[in-house]
Amino acid sequence: MVEGKWFQPGADAAEAFAIREKVFGRGRDDMDKESWNVLVWFAGEPAATGRLWWREGAFWLGDIAVLPELRGRRLGDLTLRLLLFKAETHAARLLRLVSPMDVTGFFAKLGFKPEGEAAGGQQPMLLRGEDLCLDTCKGCKKDCPNRKD
Ligand SMILES: CC(C)(COP(=O)(O)OP(=O)(O)OC[C@H]1O[C@@H](n2cnc3c(N)ncnc32)[C@H](O)[C@@H]1OP(=O)(O)O)[C@@H](O)C(=O)NCCC(=O)NCCS
């Protein structure tokens, strides 16, 4: 079973910080005093995390990480959607992040576009609130219970 849990700014999200440490080599930091952290469990074990904070007129997403052995199971997609949903509930108009060059395609799937020049192997990306779409159906015409004619 997959579950998600939010930690408010300043909370001790130890299991989320442990995943961040394992994936990025750095754990809890001062930014956690102002960030919402999300933790996703897979089969009863902590599996993925990410965080969201407000700065200079935009919501920023960062440190989205899935444990290496659990990648490719859509846990990254779920983590990103949880962060975007949280921002959406705060009527976000601008969503920003900085992506490693080899991960931009992952963020592009939910609408992020490059913003400005890449530097140091990192690409700034932007998603405007009006372009945010968390509808997994994406208006396809397949025969399913969610179809609206
Ligand atoms: C990037 C990361 C979070 C993806 O997590 P994941 O659980 O493996 O990804 P998912 O299984 O949810 O993939 C969702 C979709 O994104 C695609 N995708 C995943 N990684 C991708 C990448 N690096 N580039 C392009 N597309 C990617 C998948 O193919 C899938 O596509 P689909 O919808 O067509 O099936 C994970 O690889 C990771 O933790 N990487 C290291 C940390 C990192 O670089 N984080 C980003 C910086 S904030």
CATH code at 92?
Answer: 3.40.630.30
The mean pLDDT of 103-111, rounded to a whole number, is 97
pLDDT of residue 31: 97
pLDDT of residue 24: 98
In a domain, 142, yes or no: no
58-88: per-residue pLDDT in tens?
A: 999 999 999 999 999 999 999 999 999 999 9
Provide the domain count of the chain. 1
This prediction has a pTM of 0.94
In a domain, 108, yes or no: yes
Atom 2 in ligand 1: which residue has the minimum CA distance?
A: 76
**DSSP string across the chain:** -EEEEEE-TT---HHHHHHHHHHHS----GGGGS-EEEEEEETTEEEEEEEEEEETTEEEEEEEEE-GGGTTSSHHHHHHHHHHHHHHHTT-SEEEEEEEGGGHHHHHTTT-EE-S--BTTEEEEEEEGGG----TTTT--S--TT---
- Cβ of 103 closer than 6 Å to ligand 1, yes or no, is yes
- Expressed in angstroms and rounded, the spacing between residue 149 Cα and the centre of ligand 1 is 33
The residue with greater pLDDT, 143 or 1, is 1
Percent of all residues in the chain with a pLDDT value above 90, rounded to a whole number: 89
In a domain, 146, yes or no: no
Range of 44's domain? 2-131
pLDDT of residue 28: 98
> Which atom number of ligand 1 is nearest to the Cα of residue 99?
47
